[in-house]
Amino acid sequence: MTYNIHEAKTHLSRLLEMARCGEKVIIAKSGHPVAELIPIKDKISKRVIGSAKGQVEIKPDFDDIPGEIVDGFYK
């Protein structure tokens, strides 16, 4: 649903609850969408080593990173 700024200010608690429950909430200014309320995930999932195995490919013509660039990370 789309709400104008006045409606959003008036019903912010309700709109936050709607977004938390997964409903799409868009706030518009002068009829133009400017923001979308989205829920923050409860916890960030940890990365699992090897979970992208088989999904990433390094092409044979991939160039090594020049030494001066690598050195810049350690200065």
Domain containing 9 equals 1-40
17-20 contacts at long range (C-beta below 8 A, 24 or more positions apart): none
Local confidence pLDDT in tens for the 75 residues of the chain: 999 999 999 999 999 999 999 999 999 999 999 999 998 876 667 788 888 888 988 888 888 889 899 898 887
Residue 48 included in any domain: no
pTM above 0.75, yes or no: no
Q: What is the CATH number of the domain that holds 13?
A: 3.40.1620.10
Residue 32 included in any domain: yes
pLDDT at residue 46, as a whole number: 79
For 32, phi then psi, to 5°, come to: -110, 125
pLDDT at residue 51, as a whole number: 86
Structure tokens at 45: 């999932």
pLDDT at residue 52, as a whole number: 86
Residue 6 included in any domain: yes
pLDDT at residue 37, as a whole number: 95
Residue 31 included in any domain: yes
